[in-house]
């Protein structure tokens, strides 16, 4: 798509790049001169975004349509990772949320969330690391959440899978010391994307607990991530409010955390405790 000479070529692969944080990563990295491989499920929207990025930044943009809840698609994308010799940055961004207590959500939703949030990143990381280690450079950003640090009633699998992804990232950061390969868990709080809209939430609902003024744009989250990655920080919590909240939660006794969570979510969970299923 471009005749602009660039040496050496660098490629970034971004999952869930159709919108939100993934799309912001794609735009920023293209502006920084990366060729892109972008994945998502909404083909028309993803291809339109890819064409705009390629034209604006004169980079190569390859589109891969993948459902990362499907192990076959995970394996196919892992093959793409292994076959991309110029891969310098892997951004595991694909994800989704739910809005029901664990027992009220179909188990298929929990299984898909485990696949998208945990198994897909595991496979892509495992596929990317050998070449990165051999070259002595490369980076992996795993998009987690501030929910990784707290129990999250009404979305138990979301906080559980994000906690696993964060712990995996920190452990890999330690394992890869001295190799030139960096790994980061990016843990944003409420971000102004279509994430909440996909859950059927209005903007007022999405920002009720944290407030619109405390939320960040996707571009601000990406800026914070790449700045922290340049400093080789294994966990990035963008935004002063989010950072303060996470630090407080990590220092408090867990019994206190549980009381705070129940105070915040207790009313929402009351129908389930009384035997009445909660509906959306």
Q: Among the options 34, 102, 152, 158, which is catalytic?
A: 158
pLDDT number for residue 193: 57
Q: Catalytic residue at 207?
A: no
pLDDT band of residue 210 (cuts 50, 70, 90) is very low
Q: What are phi and psi of 14, to 5 degrees?
A: -125, 120
Q: What are phi and psi of 85, to 5 degrees?
A: -65, -25
Helix axis angle, 120-135 to 156-175, nearest 10°: 10
pLDDT number for residue 3: 53
User: What's the mean pLDDT when you consider all of the chain?
Assistant: 88
More confident residue, 260 or 223: 223
Q: What are 61-65's contacts with CB under 8 Å, separation 24+?
A: 61/1, 61/26, 61/30, 61/35, 61/36, 61/37, 62/35, 62/36, 62/37, 62/38, 63/38, 63/39, 64/37, 64/38, 64/39, 65/39, 65/40, 65/41
3-class DSSP state of 216: strand
Contact 45, 99 (CB under 8 A): no
Q: From the centroid of its chain, how far is CA 56?
A: 25
pLDDT number for residue 194: 52
CATH class, domain 11-242, is: alpha beta
pLDDT number for residue 5: 52
Helix (H) or strand (E) holding 36: strand 35-40
Lowest pLDDT segment from 4-8, 91-95, 149-153, 257-261? 4-8
Closest CA to 103 of 139, 157, 182: 157
Query: What whole-number distance in Å separates Cα of residue 31 and Cα of residue 29?
Result: 5
pLDDT number for residue 152: 85
Q: What are 128's two structure tokens?
A: 């990317």
Contact 157, 114 (CB under 8 A): yes
DSSP 132-196: HHHHT-EEEEEE--GGGGS--TT-HHHHHHHHHHHHHHHHHHHHTTTTTEEEEEE---SEESSHH
More confident residue, 173 or 257: 173
Q: For the residues 181-186, what does the mean pLDDT come to?
A: 98
Q: What are 267's two structure tokens?
A: 């009313």
pLDDT band of residue 201 (cuts 50, 70, 90) is very low
Question: What pTM was computed for the model?
Answer: 0.86
Model confidence pLDDT, tens digit, residues 148-173: 999 888 899 999 999 999 999 999 99
pLDDT number for residue 67: 97
Closest CA to 184 of 230, 146, 140, 127: 140
3-class DSSP state of 71: helix
Q: Give the number of other Cβ atoms within 10 Å of residue 76's Cβ.
A: 12
Residue 214 has pLDDT above 80, yes or no: no
Closest CA to 182 of 190, 172, 192, 191: 172
Query: What whole-number distance in Å separates Cα of residue 24 and Cα of residue 30?
Result: 10
Lowest pLDDT segment from 69-73, 140-144, 200-204, 217-221? 200-204
Domains of the chain, by residue range, sit at: 11-242
pLDDT number for residue 264: 79
pLDDT number for residue 7: 59
Model confidence pLDDT, tens digit, residues 240-250: 999 998 999 88
Q: What are phi and psi of 8, to 5 degrees?
A: -80, 155
Query: What whole-number distance in Å separates Cα of residue 157 and Cα of residue 112?
Result: 10
Model confidence pLDDT, tens digit, residues 86-142: 999 999 999 999 889 999 999 999 999 999 999 999 999 999 999 999 999 999 999
């Amino acid at each position: 798509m471009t005749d602009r000479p660039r040496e050496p070529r660098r490629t970034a692969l971004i999952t869930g790049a159709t919108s939100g944080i993934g799309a912001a990563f794609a735009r920023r990295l293209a502006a920084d001169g990366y060729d892109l491989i972008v994945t998502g499920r909404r083909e028309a929207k993803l291809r339109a975004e890819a064409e705009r990025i390629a034209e604006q930044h004169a980079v190569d943009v390859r589109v891969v349509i993948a459902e990362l809840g499907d192990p076959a698609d995970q394996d196919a994308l892992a093959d793409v990772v292994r076959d991309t010799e110029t891969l310098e940055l892997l951004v595991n961004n694909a994800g989704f949320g739910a809005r029901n207590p664990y027992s009220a959500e179909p188990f298929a939703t929990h299984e898909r969330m485990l696949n998208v949030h945990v198994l897909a990143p595991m496979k892509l990381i495992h596929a990317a690391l050998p070449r990165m280690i051999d070259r002595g450079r490369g980076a992996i950003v795993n998009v987690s959440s501030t929910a990784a640090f707290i129990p999250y009633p009404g979305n138990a699998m979301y906080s559980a899978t994000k906690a696993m992804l964060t712990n995996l990232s920190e452990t890999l950061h330690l394992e890869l010391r001295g190799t030139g390969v960096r790994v980061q868990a990016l843990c944003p709080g409420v971000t102004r994307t279509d994430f909440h809209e996909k859950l059927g939430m209005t903007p007022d609902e999405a920002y009720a607990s944290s407030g619109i003024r405390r939320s960040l744009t996707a571009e601000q989250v990406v800026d914070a991530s790449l700045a922290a990655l340049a400093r080789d920080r294994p966990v990035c919590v963008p935004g002063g409010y989010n950072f303060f909240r996470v630090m407080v939660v990590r220092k408090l006794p867990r019994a206190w955390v549980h009381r705070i969570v129940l105070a915040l979510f207790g009313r929402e969970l009351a129908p389930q405790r009384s035997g009445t299923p909660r509906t959306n």
